[in-house]
Chain A
Amino acid sequence: MTEFIWIVIALPLLGAVVLHFLGSRLGEPRAGLVGFGMVGAAFVIAAIAAVPFFQGESHGEQVFLFDWIEGLGAAASLLWDPLSAVMTLVITGIGALIHLYSIGYMHGDPGFSRFFTYLNLFIASMLILVLGDNFGLLFVGWELVGLCSYLLISFWNEKPSAAAAGKKAFIVNRIGDVGFLIALMLIFTTFGTLAFDVVLSHEAWDVNGIELGVGLVTAITLLLLVGGTGKSAQLPLYMWLPDAMEGPTPVSALIHAATMVTAGVYMIARTAVLFELAPVSSAIVASVGAVTALFAASIALKQRDIKRVLAYSTISQLGYMFLAVGVGAYVAGIFHLFTHAFFKALLFLGSGAVIHAMADEQDIGRMGGLRKAMPVTHMTQVVGWLAIIGIFPFAGFWSKDEILAVTFGKGGGYYVLWAIGLLTALLTAVYMTRWIALTFWGEKRYADDLHPHEAPGTMVLPLIVLAGFSVGVGFWNTPFLPSMEHFLEPAFEGVEQAHLPEGLVPWVLAAVSVGVAVVGAFYAYRRYRGAGAVELAPIGKGSWSLVEEAYRVDDLAGRFIVSPGRAVSNFMAFVVDRDVIDGAVNGLATAVRTAGERLRPLQSGFVRQYGLGLVAGTVGLLVWFASRGLG
């Protein structure tokens, strides 16, 4: 079975080709069904191929297809091991559900078949990324998913903001890619190949007599981290992700929550062997993750766009994953990636259903009370909400608390990171509760001529399935039964991993973080349950007077945490984010263009001027050669 694993990639690729050429002839909904069928079939094949891992019979193997670039170690060769299996199952599984959902969501869109073409292409690219057994193929997938992301963000290209967002995502990612590319060059010059089995194996280093200095490994891993921060939207390269919400909501769910943005986490987990040798890099990864988590969560507190809240939340959750892989808890990182993929896809698809029902309204200030109009969607979103804020026994509880506990267990400076993580958990509870409260609870704040309705079956079904998973998948890796840890063991062979602290500590920590989540949720519930349209308009202004005297705790929290937080998030959102970072990115593009404009007058069209250029070049070369000859 394993040797046919390439079919998993080939199916969505075939789908993309078929849809590109025949898509418009197939029409709606057949084009969508083709896309869904391809990804679904890929999922089934991947699931069957993954059975030996579950049975503990296989530790993974390479599947060689053909030589691509000789001498670079970049063959078209796949690696089917537990880590890539987990990623493949997430990509194809959630991908299939999102394809199904999109059939309903994209109903009536003139670009219906084009959408599924891109989506299938994306799935194929993402599979190349996670299945490649060398950095060459990883990079191919890396670039291809970037391209698909770009195409899908600006899918509704008639909106200038969508086109701009696509461009922004692309440019920011290029910055990360430069780091990644330099890392690949360093790897190649160090190891003489890009193949994982040589680069990522202590035995192979011994065989080939490769000596690794700490400085070199640190340089390589830091450059890899630069690539990872671009793709996974971490500080300082996070700012494309919120804008990426201009794309259709299924895209946000699939690419910008569940799969592509986790590529950085996957890449760091895959190169754990290298990061292990560079403690400084690992510490930086952890710090970047923790700071990003807090930073994004603080911004999320202030957003009014239903999808932007989730976008910042995604950045924040990706920060947790970085924190995990940074402290050496690779399994915990992948586990959180795994659970997050389900509940965040669920939340995005839910908000898509809401946007769909509200006739493209995205401002949560003008929603409210949708509980009654969309009962099923509401129920699934409650599950997603509980999962993301980490309430027992939902999926987010297990994965997030494992990360926090392991971080705590590392001691020393990691206490600070743990505290940041805990603070983030509090903020997460606040903003997610605000999100769900403003959207579904309280009184309706939308215009009377809107009649929100429950989404069609193809959209509701994925929501229900994902909600089920958002409860269930957490049990794959509990402290009582760490099945995922056993499952992933072969992939992290020879890597020393951080583990949960001994004794009662994890239980106390779990209780603390659940407690924090409950406090945050309760505060936000009180605060936003009855929010009316008028008081929401300028967020947070004067509304504090509503807080009753009996909740002085809330008031204190508001005064000492939320207010500074608000100031910081204001600063972050409006000064750092918009002016400094966006300005820098736009400036780079402008600089190149300006250079071009300045050089244009040289091309005047006059032959005499061209002749002069020719002469000048000739004289330049003559001077050089003459000086070489005479000197």
Chain B
Amino acid sequence: MVRRPILRNLELGAATAIFVYCHAADGPNQEHCFRVTEYFQDYITVFAYLAFGVILALLLLSVASLIRPSRPTPAKAMSYESGIDPVGGGWSQTHIRYYVFALLFLIFDVEAVFIFPWAIRLEQLGWFGLWEMLVFIAILLLGLVYAIRKGVLKWE
């Protein structure tokens, strides 16, 4: 059991507080407290994973930095950009038009998020589920139609 992971998260703080409260000598609601601790044990598992992940990453990086040789050259210190020489500052501006594409991409990306779980349950949902999804996609498509008709995809 992880005893005291980093107390950055409020849930954990609260969970700990309840835990302490319930394990005090004569808590007023012993049976409730029992259920609370049981409930928060699920979260403690999550935190265990979280802590494990963080510790693992830190551990690997620190071990690597300890055992690797350190011989910096200008070429090595350069930002990695797929082999091309970096040009300009890191805060370069991006054309505002990409923003619209990003938005449109996001919409259909989220659509996919809905479609995957739906596809798994399609047999149970039946025709009703099919129609619902068609309505959903149709509405999103209408949005795309609107965007195209408004000319947002034209690059002038």
Contacts and interface: CB of A to CB of B under 8 A. Distances in A.
Please tell me whether chains A and B touch each other in their complex, using a CB distance cut-off of 8 A: yes
Interface of A: 629-630
A115 B8 CA distance: 70
3 contacts: A629-B14, A630-B17, A630-B21
A478 to B, nearest CB: 81
Contacts of B17: 630
Nearest to B13: A626
Interface of B: 14, 17, 21
Contacts of B14: 629
Closest 3 CB pairs of A and B: A630-B17, A630-B21, A629-B14
Contacts, number: 3
Contacts of A630: 17, 21
A629 B13 CA distance: 13
Nearest to B21: A630
A630 B20 CA distance: 11
A629 B17 CA distance: 10
Contacts of A629: 14
B14 to A, nearest CB: 8
B33 to A, nearest CB: 14
A331 B21 CA distance: 73
A162 B14 CA distance: 64
Nearest to A630: B17
A629 to B, nearest CB: 8
A194 B14 CA distance: 51
A630 B14 CA distance: 9
A629 B21 CA distance: 11
Contacts of B21: 630
A629 B11 CA distance: 13
A629 B10 CA distance: 13
A630 B21 CA distance: 8
Nearest to B20: A630
A630 B10 CA distance: 13
A250 B21 CA distance: 77
A274 to B, nearest CB: 51
A435 to B, nearest CB: 79
A537 B14 CA distance: 83
A630 B16 CA distance: 11
Nearest to A622: B10
A630 to B, nearest CB: 6
A476 to B, nearest CB: 77
B68 to A, nearest CB: 42
B78 to A, nearest CB: 35
A630 B13 CA distance: 11
A629 B14 CA distance: 9
A563 to B, nearest CB: 80
A221 to B, nearest CB: 51
B86 to A, nearest CB: 32
A630 B24 CA distance: 13
A629 B18 CA distance: 10
